[in-house]
Amino acid sequence: MPVVASYVYRDGQRVREAPLTAEGLALAGDEFVWVGLVDPTDAEIDVLVQRFKLHPLAVEDALAAHQMPKVEVYGRELFVVARTALKIDDRIAYGETHVFVGDDHVVSIRHGSARSHNLLRAQLEASPLQLKKGPDLSLIHI
């Protein structure tokens, strides 16, 4: 399943799951959502594009693996492409993580990456003071 995790946060705490629907992604003024996907479908991306007005050039890059690492700024949104590496037995598995960071959202998309963000999410949730700072400051460790 492409959606790995999708949660809403308020005051540094996870408050609920956030299904990829208009209702599920509806937020109060002091909330943000972190949606984590692996090899998402076009339909899942379309929901996020509509809800968060993701920039078309960044979306095009996020849908296609094999991007060069980069950081782009589109208005009030940051788009990052990072290469990942994970040692599995005697080999290294490479992948990519694409991240959109806006005022009320973080969308992380993995392509070919076996490395989950579960540990990062757990570390941030264990530190509500850091998570309380919002998506642009608390999730820069992705």
pLDDT in tens, 115-124: 677 778 888 8
For 136, phi and psi rounded to 5 degrees? -75, -20
Distance CA 104, CA 58 (A): 17
Kindly state the helix (H) or strand (E) to which residue 61 belongs, with its residue range. Answer: helix 56-63
Global pTM? 0.88
List, for residues 85-116, the tens digit of each pLDDT value: 888 899 888 888 999 999 999 999 988 766 67
CB contact at 8 A, 7 and 33: yes
Q: How many angstroms separate the Cα of 120 from the Cα of each of 41, 53, 117, 131?
A: 24, 26, 5, 11
Give 18's DSSP letter: -
C-alpha to C-alpha distance for 82 and 139, rounded to whole angstroms: 14
